[in-house]
A and B are shown apart, each in its own frame.
Chain A
Amino acid sequence: MKSVLLLLCVFIVCCLPADKKDKFTVVVFKHGKIAGDPEPFRKLLKKFEDENPGIVIRDEMLPASTDEQHQFYVINLEGKSSDFDVLSMDVIWVHEFARAGWLRDLTHMLSGEDRNDFFPGPMQAVTYNNRVYAIPWYIDAGLLYYRKDLLEKYGFSPPVTWEELIRIAQYIISREPGLYGFIWQGKQYEGLVCNVLEYLWGNGGDILRDGKVVIYSDENIHALRFIRDLIIKYKVTPPLVTTAIEESTRHIFGNGRALFMRNWPYAWNIFEKEGSPVKGMVGVTLLPSFSKGPSASTLGGWQLGVNKYSKHPEEAEKLVEFFALPESQKILAITLGYKPARRSLYSDKELIKEQPFIAGLYDVFMNARPRPLTPYYMMITQVTQPEFSAALSGIKTPEESLKAAQRQIDYILAAER
């Protein structure tokens, strides 16, 4: 028994905080993996430390998959952890975390001018019950990539409507053996919901409207059937998309094996790298629209918030403020290709010179819509992922799958209210 007690004492002593820094406040910043060279990011943190003597930043990397990052936050914040102060959040989490009471209200940090400068999509995503709980850090949205050289060769301009895309793709792939027409992300995962929503919105449909579940609608049935028809009727999309995620489509397109691709902006820098088989042959544009509707694009991207349980909220706010500055967002755009969440930067001469591609993204980001804004989004997506997948793989008709989704989402929202 004595030795057990002894062991216990040793254990407790080991668990005590080893060093207490009196002079410095340590702010812990949790974020995902930095794409590419981490050096510029470090430099930026150093710059902040130089400008704010007395604050030391410790940046800590989260697990690679976004699902695991979400799980990490939920477990720690549910346990009221104060081990980290600043957290980076996917656009779909802010409402959930705000509803759970885990985020510090940051409304006072944004002036009216700032609010106008951030893109409307991310602004909606960080606003819950008229209060702002996070600051947009960088932005993402679905785009249409196309092969400039092939369109020119056959005398087409980039498609504006889905009908045009089908016509062009059918024409060109019948003359270019081994070329896929149009690829996108159709595996059963969050990316599938991002893809499908673009068609639903483009056709005037939605999942939630004014807090009501409206997923079972004629517009949505039509749109979902159209996606399935891309594969089985028009045959411009190969069946392999039902296992495809961003990277698998990026590989196919990057090897010159596809004419059109739906993907996020990150792929562009990879295509333009030295040695890429498609360097200089790629163009991007808005996703096509249905003949009468607008083009719609799903919003992605990351936001910075402050942990409600943080022991140094003022210092944490300073760091968030620093990353919200146009200068900081510009540096990350130039060095890492992170797309700034601020509109004004898209007419910045220096940035456009470094990243010519960025000016063309302005319209895409203005158009980008957040996925259903509700604290229950994570539950809803667990319903829509398999139902959309069932419709694409032909296990259910679009009508059956949307009806099933409507019933399940209704149940979730009714039961948890």
Chain B
Amino acid sequence: MKKESGNRFIFPALLILFLVTVYPVFYVFYLSFHRRLLIFDISKFVGLDNYLFLLRDDRFWNALKNTVYFTSVSVSLELAIGLSIAVLLNRSFRFRGVTRAVVLIPWAVPTVVSARMWEWIYNTDFGILNYTLGAKINWLGSPFWAIHAAILMDVWKTTPFVAILLIAGLQVIPKELYMAAKVDGAGNWAIFRRITLPLLKPIILVVLLFRTLDAFRVFDAVYVLTGGGPANTTETLSIYAYKVLFQTLQFGYGSTLSVVVFLCIGSISVFYIKLLSKGIK
């Protein structure tokens, strides 16, 4: 009896969830098998045509390559730098509270605002980066630098997030372990490798999961910074899908791209969650 009324209570929530998540996901799958240009009344089932075209679409492979590169480089840098910051901020020193708060500032700035800010920092002519370096580097306009400029911006913005999560993880590690290790005569490096890292592993995996998913779907930061240029060297999968869906209104092929992004993200999640459950055991 009790259980039944409980089911009744969660029904509205389930219905809403179904309407706003499950239904759209299936609809996108459905659309991906169609050639659909609603505004010109073109709508027909084309089977796997969109997927076959995708295999031959250089622009898709280019976007996939950019996305993978962006994700792997930025996430590894964020983890490395974030871990160092976390270890530093976990020691006790004066103004620790203030320092921790200050470190969080980049994470608190809205993405579009920080992208605009970096656009000015990277400006060839007036930008503070070139001014500091005394150089005339065309950061956002040269095919080599643009993607790295985008990565640097992302690292600046999300390293604090990584650091804060890792600090939380560090604080859970019992102090006794460190004391015992010291008594046994372990050096700092040994302590870090044998105690800190293994005990931090679950939280590191959580951080990696969040960050990889976010970086793989990156849209707003890069779109505002470069718009995907020059020559699509910073066009990520999400940006390409957005352009196909909302600027050229090809709902069919755009959905195909979204499905591929969805599948990539799905497999990344499964991979990490498997690792996580192993780590916890």
Contacts and interface: CB of A to CB of B under 8 A. Distances in A.
Q: By CB atoms of chain A within 10 A, which of B39, B247, B250 has the most? A: B39
A389 B232 contact: yes
Interface residues of B, number: 35
B37 A416 contact: yes
B243 interface: yes
A324 to B, nearest CB: 26
Given A395-B233, A415-B35, A416-B40, A243 B248 contact: no
Given A243-B141, A393-B141, A100 B39 contact: yes
A67 B228 CA distance: 15
B143 A188 contact: no
Contacts of A120: none
B214 interface: no
A164 interface: no
A382 B247 contact: yes
B227 A188 contact: yes
A252 interface: yes
Interface stretch (A234-242, A308-316, A327-335): A234-242
Contacts of B246: 71
A379 interface: yes
Interface in A74-99: 74, 78, 96, 99
Contact of A240 (B124, B228, B248): B124
A187 interface: yes
A237 B3 CA distance: 74
Contact of A99 (B40, B139, B233, B250): B40
Contacts of A416: 37, 40, 42
Given A242-B141, A243-B124, A379-B248, A393 B230 contact: yes
A392 B248 CA distance: 24
Contact of B141 (A189, A240, A382): A240
Interface in B119-151: 123-125, 138-143
Contacts of A99: 39-40
Contacts of A1: 8
Contacts of A392: 230-231
B68 to A, nearest CB: 19
Interface in A375-416: 375, 378-379, 382, 385-387, 389-390, 392-396, 404, 415-416
B38 A78 contact: yes
Nearest to B245: A71
B138 A239 contact: yes
Contacts of B247: 67, 70-71, 378, 382
A18 interface: no
A238 B12 CA distance: 61
B206 interface: no
B138 A242 contact: yes
Interface string B233-262: 101000000011011111000000000000
Contacts of B244: 382
Given A188-B227, A243-B140, A382-B243, 10 more contacts: A187-B227, A188-B228, A240-B125, A240-B138, A242-B138, A242-B230, A378-B248, A379-B250, A389-B230, A393-B142
Interface of A: 1, 4, 67, 70-71, 74, 78, 96, 99-100, 102, 186-189, 238-243, 248, 252, 257, 375, 378-379, 382, 385-387, 389-390, 392-396, 404, 415-416
Interface of B: 8, 12, 35, 37-40, 42, 58-59, 123-125, 138-143, 226-233, 235, 243-244, 246-250
- A-B interface, 8 closest residue pairs, ranked by CB to CB distance from nearest: A188-B229, A242-B141, A390-B231, A240-B124, A243-B141, A100-B39, A386-B232, A389-B231
10 contacts: A70-B247, A187-B141, A188-B232, A189-B229, A242-B138, A242-B142, A386-B59, A386-B231, A386-B235, A393-B233
